[in-house]
Structure formats: structure tokens, C-alpha cells
Amino acid sequence: MRSDKMKKGIERAPHRSLMKAMGYTDEEIMRPIIGVANAFNEIIPGHIHLRQIVDAVKAGIRMAGGTPVEFGGIGVCDGIAMNHLGMRYSLASRELIADSVEVMAQAHPFDGLVVVPSCDKITPGMMMAMLRLNIPAILISGGPMLTGNWNGKKVNLISVFEGIGQVRSGKMTEEELCSLEDEACPTCGSCAGMFTANSMNCLSEALGLSLPGNGTIPAVSAKRYRLAKKTGMKIMELVEKQIKPRDIATDAAFKNAIAVDMALGCSTNTVLHVPAIAHEAKVALPLDVFNEMSMKTPHLCNMIPGGPHSLYDLDLAGGIQAILNELDKLGIIDGDVITASGKTAKENFSSCQVRDREVIRPVEDPYHKEGGIAILYGNLAPEGCVVKQSAVAPEMLKHQGPARVFESEDDAYKAILEGMIKPGDVVVIRYEGPKGGPGMPEMLSPTSAIVGMGLDRQVALLTDGRFSGGTKGAAIGHISPEAAEGGPIALVREGDTISIDIPERKLELMVDEAELQKRRAEWKEPEPRIKEGYLARYARMVSSGAKGAIVE
């Protein structure tokens, strides 16, 4: 056993003595030792209940003859960090999370690993660690929050963000917003909707690194606790059979996951996280794979924020396994890949039928013929950029308009709320990429303000930063190269015409090359916004958003 390095033989008597200081018996020490990474904290609603989930995982490990050893991790709540300095730390925290799990599992050679995250950067960070370590490992998330009910309508966190713009435009009173605030987030769990956290938890299931049901069973359901116990038991089987994450997360498995991503209309942040996870798995996953799978995969689910359906609706309709079964009819799913259940993907999904054809449409009658995400290219984004096309109003799929240029998210947000953005405008927010931000902050506040002001069918927003999974509308992010690297977005000037053609996958700045060369010669690299601490180091080391913003 891997843990023998710290417990077996006369030379390890001091090590065993330290373990006995914590109450471990000889019998427990001699069993397979399973690390349990608990992302619990008291600042993230998706994590507030993880102690109970972890207790269930540990019970499962003990039932199957193992010894669980729990350790903690950090986490940022994107909603609470939004629209201030804290958001610059969110994406950057992903690397720290991966590193910290690696440190714990290498310093203390566990025989297996169960990771228990729930929210935006914690789930991909822990998945990165699983693939990097490549010891038997499995993931169980805390599960999604239920939607709220306000005045007879389904509501969620994004409803509150959009409410700010509605108050500013006179469509809602401050008292109504306060009432909405009280009802929008009614339970623990990752925020209700196909936002980044739920997207990544669903994709962990589609990729095969978690058990069926992980992506969709509500946080407050007893089924979630039963799944946690099963996960604890399953890690013992993975240890016995030595099934490792890289055996599961193959090139074919990643394509399965991207197909599910497209069918669901997941967060654009998946285009950052999935390549970063693939990088740790030693699988090449260029951005073009997302377009390739998008062209093949119909959009089957109209999920919040683009549509009406919640994660609970999706769970009742059959969940991720039913989607895989439906997509298998098109021949785009590799059913032979092994999964953390110990079974092949097809063995998992073959008996899972769709139970609600409005929530999961048949492949012959999808919501859209193409998948939820598109990668655009052009002289404004030579290395690519990302849009959730399933959440774009039909009239904004093709658009030309004058650039309204802002050097930061704060300046743009203020201009939107003060009524300075007019129908037809293309808002450009730059110097918010991985290096320039630093940390590639999400733009949920400005995009929600555009929706709240009633402009989402008339105004586009472009950025080298990124968007929340809760963003809807013609919001195009991850523009690469970013402004801080001298990318073309740094050369845009107020009033320039920008052309967006999502069906043709094009994003163009309608300025001739000679003028762009002149502007490029005049461009000067800006002073870094943050010059010390972790973010300064991160900015020096992080790669382009087109490469998943990985730190090499």
C-alpha cells in the first residue's frame, strides 16, 4: 500500500506514535488510509453543509474497511467576492486549491483520495489535483441549491443581481429588492442554475470522476448523503483495483464531457477549467475541440439562467446519465470509457431514460441545433474567445455597433447603471484578463445590470476577463491575447465599429490593418495593478485564457 511509506516497519514507529496521539488504533493504521479533502467553510453556501457530507463519506470508507483521514482546504464564494478586489482572487485560488491537495497527499501518502468540493473554483481545482496526483480518487460535491419562490416566480442569486439594474431603471423598488434578497437563496448548496459550480459538478460526472447523480441531486436531499456513503465505499474498490484518475479521464472521456457541456448550455468558465483539468491529465485539448463538439451536439436543456429549468428539474428528468443516453443516439458518446463507478459509461447510462421531455429534449427536437458554447475568432480575438450562444437573444447573434471602451469593470458598471450605455452599443471591458486583472475577474455585475436595465437584446459586452455562469445575453469573454499582453483588444478606441457573428464564429474590429499597426506602435504596457503578494506572482506566471489560465 502507498501508505506503508509512513506506517510500516520498525523505522516508522515514530510515525505511528504520532498517529496514535490522535486516537488512531493499530487496526485503523494498518487499513488502507484514505485522504478526505473537505472544502467546508462558513463563507460559501455551497460548502456550509460539507461537514455532514464528509461524515457520510467517512462512514462509507469505514464500512468498506478503510480509515478516513480528513483535511481542509480554502474556497472563495464568487457571489460574495463579486465586483470588488476579492473577485481577482477567485480564479487564482484554483491553483492554490490544486497545490494544497497535492501537498497533503504527497506529504502523507494516502492510498486513495476523496475530494469534497461544491463551488466554482474548488471543484475544478480539486479535479486538477486528482489528475496531477493520479492515485485512486473520486469526487463527491455538496450538490445544488434549490430555487427560491418570490411572488410566485422561481428566483435565484442572479435574480438579485439583475434586481439592482431594475431598481436603477425604476422597474423595481428597493423594498421589493430586499424582499427578493430574502427569498432568492433558500437552502445550502451551489447556487441554483447551470452556473459554473453546477456545470463543473455535472461535468465531473460526465467525465467519470464522480458517481452517477453527483451533478444534480440537491444539496438538501437524503439521496445526496446516501451518494456520499456510496462514494466512500467506492474509493475502497478503486484502491483495490488500482483504477486511477488518468485511467478514467482519457481523451474520449473529455469529449464525452464536452458533449454534455454543449447539451446543457454550461457556464463559459468550463472553457477555462476543462482544458486546465485535461492539462493535468496529460490530454491535449485545444479550444477547437469545443467548437467541434458544439457543431455535433444539439442543445437539449434550457437551464437557468438562459431558460426556466433548475438542477432539481434536471435531476427529476433523469440527470446527466439520461443526457448521455440521449446523446449516445447520435454516436457522439464513447460508452466504453471506464468511470469511477468501476463500470463503463454505457453500463452507467444505458438504463437511464429521460423522464421529462421538456427538461431534456430528444435529439430530434432540441432547443438549438448546436451546443450551448461557441468559440469565436477574428482580428479582435486571434487566439479565440468564448460565448454562451444558448443564452443570447436571436437578434443579437449577429450585431454591429460602436465600441464603448472601459479600462476596468468598475468604470463600465458605473456607466451602465448611470444610463450612459445606449441600444446598439458594444461595451468593451479590457485589462481584466488573467495577467491584467490580475485574476480574470467575472463580469456578473455589469452583465446583470445590462439585463436589469432591459438592454440585453440590444447591447453586447466584450472582455478579456470572464463571466459568471449566471451571465446571459451577448457576453463574449476570454478574448485572447488579452490587453495586458498587447492583444488587439488593447487597440480598440471609442466609437470603433465591432462586428459580431456568432453563427459564423467571428469577432472582428472594423479597422484597417494599417491603422491597427499604427496603434500597436503607440501602445505601452500598463503598470501592474497589484505589485506584491500572491496575485503579483500569479500575474507573472499565468498563461492565456485560451490555454485555460494555467500556471506552468
CB burial of 144-181 (b: ≥16 within 10 Å; e: otherwise) equals: bbbbbebeeebbbbbbbbbbbbbbbeeebeeeebeebb
- Angle between the N-to-C axes of helices 196-207 and 319-328, in degrees from 0 to 180, rounded to the nearest 10: 60
Report the sign of the C-alpha dihedral through residues 532, 534, 538, 541, in that order. Answer: positive
Distance in Å from the first CA to the final CA of the chain: 31
Q: Rounded CA gap, 552 and 549, in Å?
A: 9
Could you give the strand order of the β-sheet that contains 112-116, starting from the edge strand earlier in sequence? Answer: 67-72, 33-38, 112-116, 137-139
Conformational region of residue 175, where left means phi above 0, alpha means psi within -120 to 50, and beta covers everything else: alpha
Residues of the chain with pLDDT under 50: none
Sequence length of the chain is 552
CB 165 within 8 A of CB 239: no
Percent helix, strand, coil in the chain, to 5, is 45, 15, 40
Cα dihedral 485, 491, 497, 498 in deg (nearest 10): 0
Give the pLDDT confidence score for residue 95 in this predicted structure. Answer: 98
Give the Cα-Cα-Cα angle 320, 322, 325 (nearest 5 degrees): 110
247-270, pLDDT tens digit by residue? 999 999 999 999 999 999 999 999
- In 3D, which of 142, 317, 334, 175 has the Cα closest to residue 249? 334
Could you list the active site residues?
468
Q: String of b and e for 459-490 (b: at least 16 CB within 10 Å)?
A: bbbbbbbbbbbbbbbbbbbbbbbbbbbebbbb
User: Which residues of 117-260 form beta strands (DSSP E)?
Assistant: 137-139, 148-150, 153-155
pLDDT at 21: 98
Task: Indicate the SS3 state at residue 231.
Answer: helix
Look up residue 150 and give its three cell numbers.
Answer: 418570490
**What phi and psi, each to the nearest 5 degrees, are found at residue 477?**
-125, -175
